[in-house]
């Protein structure tokens, strides 16, 4: 019975650490870029889009599709980096296992 109580305490501590790490992800900012930096987007660790910056040289009224592609690429770059950050931060507690709904 004592082992069970100790194990439950360890599980509770791990859960608390994981919740804290999950909260901290929301305060981290990740940037994604495209076109050599002409489009930059910022997301937080919860994958919320925070900012989009487009340099004037990226705007060509004759080629709107290129700008759209650059924005898409930059957003996807930032989201991929956010996933990597979450996996890195949360992997400390999950041993590398991906737990659905956690991150």
- DSSP lists the bridge partners of residue 39 as 34, 54
Give the tens place of pLDDT for each residue, 60-102: 999 999 999 999 999 999 999 999 998 888 877 766 555 555 5
* CATH code for the domain in which residue 54 is found: 3.30.1310.10
Q: What is the mean pLDDT of residues 21-30?
A: 90
The DSSP annotation for 62-98 comes to T-HHHHHHHHHHHHHHHHHHHHHHHHHHHHHHHTTPP
Confidence band (pLDDT; 50, 70, 90) for 7? confident
Asked if residue 61 is part of any domain, the answer here is yes
Count up the domains in the chain and report the number. 1
Asked if residue 38 is part of any domain, the answer here is yes
Q: How far apart are CA 25 and CA 40, in angstroms?
A: 20
Model pTM score: 0.72
Q: What is the mean pLDDT of residues 17-34?
A: 91
> Would you say residue 22 has pLDDT above 50?
yes
């Amino acid at each position: 019975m004592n082992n069970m109580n100790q194990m439950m305490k360890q599980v509770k501590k791990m859960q608390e650490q994981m919740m804290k790490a999950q909260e901290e992800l929301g305060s981290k900012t990740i940037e994604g870029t495209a076109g050599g930096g002409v489009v930059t987007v910022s997301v937080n660790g919860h994958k919320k889009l925070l900012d989009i910056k487009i340099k004037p040289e990226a705007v060509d009224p004759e080629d709107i599709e290129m700008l759209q592609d650059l924005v898409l690429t930059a957003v996807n770059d930032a989201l991929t980096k956010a996933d990597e950050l979450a996996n890195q931060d949360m992997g400390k507690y999950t041993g590398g296992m991906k737990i659905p709904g956690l991150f």
